[in-house]
Amino acid sequence: MKNRNLRVARLAAALALGLTWPTARQKGFTADAQQTVSLAEVKIDNFSFSPAVLTVPAGTTVTWTNRDDIPHTVVSSDDPKAFKSKVLDTDEKFSFTFSKAGSYPYFCSVHPKMVGKVVVQ
Ligand SMILES: [Cu+2]
């Protein structure tokens, strides 16, 4: 009887650990199961965003990758800003998930003439 209780206690502890640890992962899983996961990419190269205008369905995660040998940023032009990356060095990435439909213009704060737009449908 004593042995059995110990086993049950160990199982409970393992379950508790399993439930508290990968919480973020499990949340991601739930979201994935409920809606189609959509991914899109914008390349930053030669001082421009490509494609300059990207149209995606709501719920899409857009990832910007800096393929330039110069640091760039991805900063929402809206007020308040919908998103803002840190300074991205070569091959660094920034991702943002667009959950609401709308037009999201953005620019590079290092080179404000670099502009792009994400249109969420
Ligand atoms: Cu830039």
Domain locations in the chain as residue ranges: 1-35, 39-120
- Sheet containing 102-107: give its strands across: 53-56, 115-120, 102-107, 75-76
* Centre of ligand 1 from the C-alpha of residue 46, in Å: 9
pLDDT digits (tens, 9 = 90+) for 1-48: 445 554 544 544 444 444 444 433 444 444 444 556 799 999 999 999
Nearby residues for ligand 1 (ion, Cβ within 5 Å): 72, 108, 110-111, 114
Average pLDDT on 51-61 reads: 98
* Centre of ligand 1 from the C-alpha of residue 106, in Å: 11
Type of residue at 13: A
Average pLDDT on 47-57 reads: 98
Give the C-alpha separation, 91 to 44, whole Å.
9
Q: Determine if the pTM surpasses 0.75.
A: no
Domain 39-120, classified CATH 2.60.40.420, yes or no: yes
pLDDT digits (tens, 9 = 90+) for 78-114: 999 999 999 999 999 999 999 999 999 999 999 999 9
